[in-house]
Structure 1
Amino acid sequence: MKLKVLATALALLATSACVYADSEALNRIERLEQSQSTQHQLVVQNSNSSADASKAPASLKKPEKKALEPTVDQAKAAIIVANILTRFEYDKKPLDENMSQAVFKEYLKMMDPAKMYLLQSDINEFEPVRQNIHTMLMTGRLAPAFAMFEKYRDRVEQRFDHALALLDKPFNFDIEESFNLDRKKAEWASSDEQINDLWRKRIKNDYLRLKLAGSKDSVIVEKLKKRYINNRNQIMRMNGEDVAEMFLNAYGNSTDPHTSYYSPSSAKNFDVQISLSVDGIGAVLQKRDEYGQIREVVPGGPAAKSGQLNPGDRIVAVGQGESGPMEDVVDWRLDDIVKLIRGKRGTTVRIEIIPAERGMEGKHTTVSIVRQKVTMEDQAARYRIYEAGTDANKRKVGIITIPSFYEDFDAKARGESNYKSVTRDVRVILEKLDKEGVDGVLLDLRNNGGGSLSEAANLSGLFLGGPNPIVQVSTAEGTTSNVRSATGKIVWNKPVGVMVNRISASASEIFAAAIQDYGRGVVIGDPTWGKGSVQTIRGLDEFLRRHEGEELGSLKWTIQKFFRVNGSSTQEKGVVPDIVFPSAFDPTELGESSYENAMPWSKIAPTRYSGYDTLADKIGPLKTMHEQRAQQSDSWKLLLDELAYARKTSDKKVISLRYATRLDEREKMSAEQSQFEERRKKLGESDVNSFRLDDGLAAGEGNLTQELADEKKRKESLDIAIKEAANIVADLVDQK
């Protein structure tokens, strides 16, 4: 048996090079394999008994706590991850005592980021683990990390049981005391008394938020009990796969902010996100109390075509095939429900539901649906045409929203002619816009966190032609090469604008930088995230000769750093727009520069490329026209006032727990927000981005119909900033 580790060039550039791990790593895995069959039996038993323990509603039954032990596969995964990251990550860091300290700190942060569960005495108890994580990872001995999680799980149970007991007693809202919402830099509580008082204040704030929103005391108590029971039960139901993933992610994140381990289940979900396709029924689920609930039905999917499932339906049980036994899924974790519903294309799944329109006491219905390939078009590129400019000189601007740089790698590898990709979708959109006589396009990349590197290059080619160098990539050894757009002619030769914000990252930054460096279009918005590194993702079973039933998960790790064609890195600094808009984000809290272990900015020699010389002289006049328009625009003034108000409210970290004080604050906030709404109404601006008073609800507790209506309205509406960006593109049209 050999442990094959792919070279960095193989991961991205599809070369055939590979290297082998040392013999000691091979011996560790071979020793682990000797007990593999027994371990797999234990996993199956745990899985079955977990299902049996999940049949009672959360309000009636606490989950059984089971001892968590790492499996052989998880131990193998740890060894392989350790070997890859110490040998082949771009910014290699030794797995030593210093790394142990970093992983320990990150693991605690993942479990208890607000320091609301564990005590200082628990941290002291974990001290031997802190000192030995490096040897644990290299040898695959994960039991101490699992023991840490079990202690955390015990504390979660204690804290929420304490919270439930407190709800049976009245709170005194007349005394002046406060609660700190930001506990990232807080010390660990030193005693049960201290942490119980923290929880008393947390629960009092949860209660007060609902009370200020107009809920009656009896309703508040019932809602909070359900919330706390559900939160407790979800943690208590975490399994060994979750724990191994968390711990290996703590290691990955400690080496590089963008290095991640995906458990076998998470790896499947990642594939869905990047390909925008999955074999299933075409329904989006959410957790609602103890039930999995249908949140959305994907248009064109099997569920939509059947007409049998609707938003709000609650799932009670799932059965496989036409006659397989129904498995009760009440109070199951959402991921586990999804696993049962997804499945092989062409197979049947039966789902027992409580239809939304019948209420909780309504008669159950069982629906039967044949699984098919589902494409999530609502997460794909979309467009609309907006008339920008002045009344006397209107210009048609096509606004193309691109949520991510998606690509169905598997379908492409299989040679499917209609595989999903952002470049293919945008090409179709551009051809439609050209036929409709659109004068210019604006690509909205706000909140686009990236995706496929090849898609970033090929999308650029629609505006630059190809093959052209789009981005330079450099290995840790200093070898530099160009990633080029696909061969082809320019699809869109009219004016182009690209809108970005602080959340635009990675592939978004590559695309925006290429458009800017070539002088092909104007970049608008606020400075981007600053992620200038390239990752690859590989299934860990690729590094071993597979055993039947073996699943090791996947690793995404950093293999290269990318540089703009002008030689500058986007790392930390991001892409600075040609025309900067006011930002809604705090750069100290969000962005690459906020990471303690982020790689520094650097620069290399520019590559040879031929840009457009005409745009440089136009940026100045475009800025001037924008500033003149902004000074005269009541809508722009509204945007600035709303951003200032949002920053003021978000900066407030310590809040009062006195009812009269909070009521006064709420009334002032309500008056301020009413003014914003009135201004929006008078200006004809959409209210989709306007402020809402806090309703005190957690995710999954609100009115689903209203939430879906708001989401639909948000997609269909144009905000003030995007309208002004379209005006800038219209100005660019007139500059030709």
Structure 2
Amino acid sequence: MNRPQTKLKNLVFALSFSLMTGCVYADKAVDVDSIHNPQASSVVLTKADAKSIENNSTGKNQDFPPLKPEINFARASVIVANVLTRFEYDKRPLDVKMGHEVYDAYFKALDPQKMFFTSQDLEYFKPGQSLINRLLLEGDLRFAFDVYSRYREVADKRYKYAIGLLDKPFDFTVQEEFNVDRRKTAQWPKTDDEANDLWRRRVKNDFLRLKLANMDDDKIRETLRKRYTNNRNQIVRMKSEDVAEMFLNAYTDSTDPHTSYYSPTSAKNFDVQLSLSVEGIGAVLQKRDEYGQIREVVAGGPAARGGQLQPGDRIVAVGQGENGPMEDVVDLRLDDIVKKIRGKRGSVVRIEVIPADGGLDGKHRTIRIVREKVTMEDQAARSKIYETNVDNVKRKIGIITVPSFYEDFEGRSKGISDYKSVTRDVNKILEDYHKQNVEAVVLDLRGNGGGSLNEAANLSGLFLGHHQNVVQVRSADGSVSNVDSQVEKIWDKPVVVIVNRISASASEIFAAAIQDYGRGLVVGDPTWGKGTVQTFRPLSDFLKKPEAGESLGALKWTIQKFFRVNGSSTQVKGVTPDIQFPSGFDPKELGESSYDNAMPWTKIEKAEYKPAGWLSTQLKELASKHEKRVKASDSWQLMTDETDYALKLSQRKTYSLNLKQRENERKKMNETYQDFEKRRKALGESDLATFKLDDGLAMGEGNLKEELEDEKKRKENLDTIAKESANIAADLVSLQQK
């Protein structure tokens, strides 16, 4: 291992950096200005200072791309370290203790199941453990690259060993087990022999899962050989940018669960996720074997309008412009294929594909597409009107699914009149509901991990009114400010909000505001418990004179903590529904409370707000109506039984590798599954099963057509929880009319 010796000189950080907050956003903030003290200098890292670091290139295997800690990674490291030690909400010094935590976090990030490294590897690198804090402050990432070089060597060895096992028969009569979740309790294997035994059991378990799903042995070997080869390639072909990102995130994760460093590539992807727009062809890709495969063609996008690109097509080559050379992309990482396909709007890209309907030996086709700005409407708010029949009274209830609190920050900052945002989309839906005489609305926030705080406030405003306090925000200095809604109320009829354990951040702000104001009911299971606000800044903002086109990536860090208008934080505790439903999530594994370094729950003075009084007095009656209804509902009981059974199976950690024992277990599972299906058929339910028999397949190995049909069915049909939430909304209408 190369011991870092060179110090980067002339590092003076702008200590008078301050944050002027206008609107602060959960997960991203664009209205946050950085003001540098004119008497202070910014970070200065010269190429001469970093020469010895940049020259450390590794990669002996011809299949391994060269890795080196480049100057920009050094700059990023220094800026990240200085920002987090000075401006994070819960500031922690980058001392030796923190360095030890980063060391542990890095190895866990690389090898969470403790199947690649041995304890000997960790012992070899242990001398660097007490140096990590200093290396981060100095921008010296050689230690991270040395560790990763060793990681891809052992990954290459482990996967080749696993592939070699497929050529030999397995003895499935032996009584032995495999632990599928080694994250918290297992120790690192002491030797290569111990590691090999773990991999033997893993391969044996993978083989068994496919065998139990009735796949023949030759097909199993082919499937696993491709899987292990692809997994191996994903690791050994990581680029220097990816390694730097992983190591810096080992640091950011150690300071706070929601603080993250984004490489230049990841920063672009983050913008796409939050704005729901990108300049490209309008297609969603996935990896299948060695190919990038079209998973979905975005409706209304350039690829969809041309009609030539179809789900299932495999991408062979990509060419830029009308006459640029076609570059072979077979066996490239998915990120690299996406980079080649995305580009400036108005430009031309040519894509050579193997059509899905022709098989791998089918005739190749080259498709010319002009790139455009594409809006991913399938990830936007969508709506359905459902007719309830409660107490023999039929009512129209609108159900709006809100996947995220998205907002096109760039469009808003440029003053574009029709920029994309969740509030605007929901506003249009509610206007349509008024025309159709919808009597109540259900907002489905299940699985919604958050987004823009600005959008959480404004979406609340559609139901609470203009200039209503939605959430309180406390900064590190203890000052508290209120974030209020900036839109007019458009909906004064009853509201029900569905949440689950994955509903977090902005979702919790919205649900809490509806609950605290007594504006509606919250139903489902307790939410994630993320009560912190992050700001998102390109690191080049911290350089006094960044070079043209220079990108160091970006940093998302925690700057504030938010509190409900009643003064309580959602941190750790989340939002507790007024009426709780069966949960399919294990709170020990998911949620803020599962993080070792989560901020604690706290409380402040309540804000000025006026809750409606009538709903709290009716809650007991509403809950009673719900309980009476679901006790008599075979559909609800089926959903509950499936959810409980699936949760129980997900909590299982150890599996037998004895074929007879596994066949007996599979037989019982199949009987349970068939019973669920029989009950579903008798009910005439359109729900997709909550519990499905394990098919042993990994992502990208299944039948794409069936997967897409399932996804479409989930979007088009309302499940039992959505229907019962609509029934509760109908109860609200009846009580309000009284």
* Aligned residue type for 2:525: D
Alignment of 1:370-381 (within 5 A): 370-381=370-381
Quote how far apart the aligned CAs of 1:662 are: 0.7
Alignment of 1:403-482 (within 5 A): 403-482=403-482
- The aligned residue for residue 166 of structure 1 is 165
Quote how far apart the aligned CAs of 1:418 are: 1.1
* 3-state DSSP of counterpart to 2:44: helix
Q: Are 1:150 and 2:149 an aligned pair?
A: yes
* Aligned residue type for 1:478: G
> Residues of 2 paired with 1:254 and 1:31: CA distance?
25
* 8 Å CA contact 2:445, 2:497 repeated in 1: yes
* Aligned residue type for 2:180: L
- The aligned residue for residue 486 of structure 1 is 486
- The aligned residue for residue 120 of structure 1 is 119
Question: What do the CA deviations read for 1:493-538 (whole angstroms, capped 9, x no partner)?
Answer: 1000001011000000000000001110011111110000000100
* 8 Å CA contact 1:676, 1:690 repeated in 2: no
- The aligned residue for residue 312 of structure 1 is 312
Greater CA drift, 469-478 or 606-615: 606-615
* 8 Å CA contact 1:524, 1:578 repeated in 2: yes
Greater CA drift, 382-391 or 329-338: 382-391
* 3-state DSSP of counterpart to 1:615: helix
- The aligned residue for residue 667 of structure 1 is 667
Percent identity of equivalent pairs: 59
* 8 Å CA contact 1:677, 1:690 repeated in 2: no
Alignment of 1:495-514 (within 5 A): 495-514=494-513
Q: Cα 1:20–1:70, aligned 2, differ >3 Å: closer, same or farther?
A: farther
Question: What do the CA deviations read for 1:586-637 (whole angstroms, capped 9, x no partner)?
Answer: 1111110110000000000011112212211111110010111122111121
Of residues 26, 32, 44, the one that matches 1:30 is: 44
Q: Normalising to structure 2: TM-score of the pair?
A: 0.94
> Residues of 2 paired with 1:179 and 1:17: CA distance?
52
* Aligned residue type for 2:542: F
Q: Are 1:241 and 2:241 an aligned pair?
A: yes
Question: What do the CA deviations read for 1:109-161 (whole angstroms, capped 9, x no partner)?
Answer: 11000000000000001112211111011000001111001111101000001
Quote how far apart the aligned CAs of 1:7 are: 2.4
> Residues of 1 paired with 2:32 and 2:535: CA distance?
14
Quote how far apart the aligned CAs of 1:570 are: 0.4
* Aligned residue type for 1:231: N
- The aligned residue for residue 517 of structure 1 is 516
* 8 Å CA contact 2:472, 2:483 repeated in 1: yes
> Residues of 2 paired with 1:375 and 1:81: CA distance?
32
* 3-state DSSP of counterpart to 1:279: strand
> Residues of 2 paired with 1:480 and 1:127: CA distance?
43
> Residues of 2 paired with 1:581 and 1:239: CA distance?
45
> Residues of 2 paired with 1:70 and 1:453: CA distance?
36
Quote how far apart the aligned CAs of 1:9 are: 3.6
* 8 Å CA contact 1:642, 1:676 repeated in 2: yes
Question: What do the CA deviations read for 1:367-390 (whole angstroms, capped 9, x no partner)?
Answer: 100000100000000010111232
Question: What do the CA deviations read for 1:536-595 (whole angstroms, capped 9, x no partner)?
Answer: 100000111211342100000000000001111000000111111121111111110110
Question: What do the CA deviations read for 1:232-259 (whole angstroms, capped 9, x no partner)?
Answer: 1111110110001001111111000000
Q: Are 1:623 and 2:640 an aligned pair?
A: no
Quote how far apart the aligned CAs of 1:218 are: 1.1
Q: Normalising to structure 1: TM-score of the pair?
A: 0.95
> Residues of 2 paired with 1:572 and 1:525: CA distance?
17
Name structure 1 gaps, 5 residues minimum: 54-61
- The aligned residue for residue 35 of structure 2 is 18
> Residues of 2 paired with 1:243 and 1:714: CA distance?
37
* Aligned residue type for 1:32: T
> Residues of 1 paired with 2:312 and 2:400: CA distance?
31
Alignment of 1:219-298 (within 5 A): 219-298=219-298
- The aligned residue for residue 599 of structure 2 is 599
- The aligned residue for residue 71 of structure 1 is 70
- The aligned residue for residue 580 of structure 2 is 580
Q: Cα 1:37–1:486, aligned 2, differ >3 Å: closer, same or farther?
A: farther
> Residues of 1 paired with 2:261 and 2:84: CA distance?
11
Question: What do the CA deviations read for 1:196-230 (whole angstroms, capped 9, x no partner)?
Answer: 01100000011111111111111111111111111
> Residues of 2 paired with 1:180 and 1:70: CA distance?
36
Q: Cα 1:139–1:718, aligned 2, differ >3 Å: closer, same or farther?
A: same
Greater CA drift, 520-529 or 548-557: 548-557
- The aligned residue for residue 83 of structure 2 is 84
Alignment of 1:679-694 (within 5 A): 679-694=679-694
> Residues of 1 paired with 2:32 and 2:128: CA distance?
40
Q: Cα 1:436–1:173, aligned 2, differ >3 Å: closer, same or farther?
A: same
* 8 Å CA contact 2:13, 2:82 repeated in 1: no
Question: What do the CA deviations read for 1:435-463 (whole angstroms, capped 9, x no partner)?
Answer: 11111000000010000000000000000
* 8 Å CA contact 1:535, 1:557 repeated in 2: yes
> Residues of 1 paired with 2:361 and 2:588: CA distance?
50
> Residues of 2 paired with 1:3 and 1:123: CA distance?
34
* Aligned residue type for 1:454: N
Q: Cα 1:565–1:623, aligned 2, differ >3 Å: closer, same or farther?
A: same
* 8 Å CA contact 1:2, 1:20 repeated in 2: no
* 3-state DSSP of counterpart to 1:30: coil
* Aligned residue type for 1:513: A
* 8 Å CA contact 1:63, 1:236 repeated in 2: no
Quote how far apart the aligned CAs of 1:487 are: 4.2
> Residues of 2 paired with 1:651 and 1:296: CA distance?
32
- The aligned residue for residue 197 of structure 1 is 197
Q: Are 1:7 and 2:18 an aligned pair?
A: yes
Q: Cα 1:407–1:225, aligned 2, differ >3 Å: closer, same or farther?
A: same
> Residues of 2 paired with 1:643 and 1:214: CA distance?
25
* Aligned residue type for 2:173: D
* 8 Å CA contact 1:677, 1:687 repeated in 2: no
Aligned residues: 717
- The aligned residue for residue 345 of structure 1 is 345
Q: Are 1:398 and 2:398 an aligned pair?
A: yes
Alignment of 1:653-732 (within 5 A): 653-732=653-732
Quote how far apart the aligned CAs of 1:643 are: 2.0
> Residues of 2 paired with 1:730 and 1:514: CA distance?
21
Q: Cα 1:391–1:11, aligned 2, differ >3 Å: closer, same or farther?
A: closer
Question: What do the CA deviations read for 1:393-432 (whole angstroms, capped 9, x no partner)?
Answer: 1111100000000000011111111110000000000001
> Residues of 2 paired with 1:125 and 1:271: CA distance?
40
* 8 Å CA contact 1:86, 1:94 repeated in 2: yes
Q: Cα 1:22–1:63, aligned 2, differ >3 Å: closer, same or farther?
A: farther
Q: Cα 1:372–1:35, aligned 2, differ >3 Å: closer, same or farther?
A: farther
- The aligned residue for residue 56 of structure 1 is none
CA RMSD of aligned residues (A): 2.1
Question: What do the CA deviations read for 1:652-694 (whole angstroms, capped 9, x no partner)?
Answer: 2111111111111111110111000111111122241342221
Greater CA drift, 455-464 or 611-620: 611-620
Q: Are 1:95 and 2:109 an aligned pair?
A: no
* Aligned residue type for 1:70: P
* 8 Å CA contact 2:287, 2:700 repeated in 1: yes
> Residues of 1 paired with 2:52 and 2:254: CA distance?
33
